[in-house]
Amino acid sequence: MQVLDYKTQIKLNYGELNQILDWCEKNCVGNYKYMEDPNGSMYDSWVFLFENERDYVAFIVWKQ
């Protein structure tokens, strides 16, 4: 069972999700998951969950 302890919410413009997923595939060493933010606007607010703290921090730094 994977435990995804590290969570962040990001806003994306239409068509940007694939770029984010490509980055995750190339750079994450642990498991990750993403889903539409149930509290956000449809298609522009996403929640990313990471198993590994290193992946989480790298993602946060890269997205800034």
pLDDT digits (tens, 9 = 90+) for 21-58: 999 999 999 999 999 887 766 678 999 999 999 999 99
The answer to whether residue 29 sits within a structural domain is yes
The predicted pLDDT at position 57 comes to 97
The predicted pLDDT at position 3 comes to 77
Structural domains in the chain (count): 1
> What pTM, to 2 d.p., does this model score?
0.85
The predicted pLDDT at position 1 comes to 55
Q: Which residue range(s) make up the domain with 21?
A: 6-63
CATH of the domain at 46: 3.30.70
The answer to whether residue 1 sits within a structural domain is no
CB 46 within 8 A of CB 36: yes
The answer to whether residue 19 sits within a structural domain is yes
Residues 6+ apart with CB under 8 A from 37: 9, 45, 46, 47
The predicted pLDDT at position 62 comes to 94
